Each structure stands twice: as structure tokens, then as C-alpha cells.
Amino acid sequence: MATSAATERPSFISEAYLDYLDELFESYSLDMRRATPLLRTAFRLSEPEAQATVVFWEKSFGKRMIT
């Protein structure tokens, strides 16, 4: 059973990062496997930060869309 900590947002992840990923997803013009390098470029994130952001976005997508 997953804990709530699994979807707790790391402190470095801003709402702007998640909005950017939402827009990429909603545009249907991108395979989301390419989101990490785009996120790195757009926000000047390190590789680990960008990867963690995409993972958090994937895990929290449904929950964030409902609220």
C-alpha cells in the first residue's frame, strides 16, 4: 500500500513546473518520455530535479486534476 509520502511534493517542485507538464500533456504533441529534457531546458533544472519532477507529476496527475 502506497503512503501519502509517495505523493508528497518535494520542496524544489514549483506549481509552474507542474503546469508546464500539464500543458505538454494536454497538447498531445509530445511523447511524455521526452518531458524531462524539455523541463530541464525550460526551467534550468538538473537532470535529477527534472526526473523527480516528472515522476511526481505522473504520480500526482489524477489527484491534482480532481481537486
The reported pLDDT for the residue numbered 3 is 45
The reported pLDDT for the residue numbered 33 is 85
Determine the structural domain holding residue 48 and report its residue range.
13-66
The reported pLDDT for the residue numbered 47 is 96
5 inside domain: no
The answer to whether 55 and 9 are in contact (CB under 8 A) is no
Domain count, the chain: 1
- Span 12-63, pLDDT tens digits: 999 999 999 999 998 877 778 889 999 999 999 999 999 999 999 999 987 7
CA 5 to chain centre: 16
| pLDDT over 60 at 2, yes or no | no
The reported pLDDT for the residue numbered 6 is 55
26 inside domain: yes
